[in-house]
Amino acid sequence: MSKEVSEEGQAHGKDYVDPPPAPLIDLAELKLWSFYRALIAEFIATLLFLYVTVATVIGHKKQNELDKCDGVGLLGIAWAFGGMIFVLVYCTAGISGGHINPAVTFGLFLARKVSLIRAVGYMVAQSLGAVAGVGLVKAFMKHEYNRFGGGANSVASGYNTGTAIGAEIIGTFVLVYTVFSATDPKRSARDSHIPVLAPLPIGFAVFVVHLATIPITGTGINPARSFGAAVIYNNNKAWDDHWIFWVGPFVGALAAAAYHQYILRAAAIKALGSFRSNATN
């Protein structure tokens, strides 16, 4: 691994450039229109994401009640979530980075990809967008929305809290790990001629995680998604379990950021090598 690190340290051998770490607090961002444009993009993207996905869930439950063979099924719901993430990341990546998820933003903040101010701004915009998106679903199909659970996340019957947290941690790890891998500067340099390669695996990760965890928690892996549904549905069960859909995704994002940055990208070894080099000079 030390050989690999030393080779990476030779700038002339690279076909990519690692961006410098984002400052912890960057007050200058507050003066830039691009910052507020990014907040708007995150708000609208999360609104659209929640509107389409929660409407799909409610529509499926309505059709399935009348005919058990009708409706899009679990597979269709998973495709709705994964497909929307693919579309929205593709549309907003060049504006805000296409996070659409506080857990993704948190992971990128830990890796110093975004500043604290931008991370907090994104999380607020995403949460408000989620509330607005689910609010639209309720406005358009109020009776069905209230009758079929409002798309709110909760621990399914037969599963305990520990299982639910574990499912959320692992599911979010898969998603955030995919985000780091798909947007890695090495990969971006190599695959820059195919612009859909970053959004595609991210959307597919959301799809497969939903297949695994819908039966357990309805699949959160996105605190804004869970928050928006909980606020609009406003049911005791949804609120009682709600903390799971913040703690689980944030722990999963932390684990994914640490794994990618300090093991796969060997950031700890690079830092140690730099320290030793400075000590000998």
Token duo for residue 237: 């069960």
Q: Which among 168, 154, 244 has a CA at the least distance from the CA of 212?
A: 168
Establish how many alpha carbons lie within 13 A of residue 113's alpha carbon, considering only the half-sphere containing its beta carbon.
Answer: 20
- 176-185 in b/e burial notation, b at 16+ Cβ within 10 A? bbbbbbbbbe
Looking at per-residue confidence, does 8 or 267 come out higher? 267
Does residue 54 carry a pLDDT above 50?
Answer: yes
Confidence of residue 140 (pLDDT cuts 50, 70, 90): very high
Tell me the residue ranges of DSSP E strands in 59-110. none
Looking at per-residue confidence, does 224 or 196 come out higher? 224
The pLDDT value recorded for residue 16 is 62
Confidence of residue 192 (pLDDT cuts 50, 70, 90): low
The pLDDT value recorded for residue 13 is 53
Q: Is 277 domain-assigned?
A: no
Percent of the chain at pLDDT > 90 equals 69
Does residue 3 carry a pLDDT above 50?
Answer: no
Q: Is 243 domain-assigned?
A: yes
Q: Is 176 domain-assigned?
A: yes
Q: Can you give the pTM of this predicted structure?
A: 0.86
Q: Is 241 domain-assigned?
A: yes
Q: Is 1 domain-assigned?
A: no
Q: Count up the domains in the chain and report the number.
A: 1
Does residue 277 carry a pLDDT above 60?
Answer: no
Q: Is 171 domain-assigned?
A: yes
Please state the rounded mean pLDDT for residues 185-211: 79
Ranking 9-18, 47-56, 238-247 by mean pLDDT, the lowest is: 9-18
User: What's the domain range around 127?
Assistant: 27-265
Query: Domain of 226: which CATH number?
Result: 1.20.1080.10
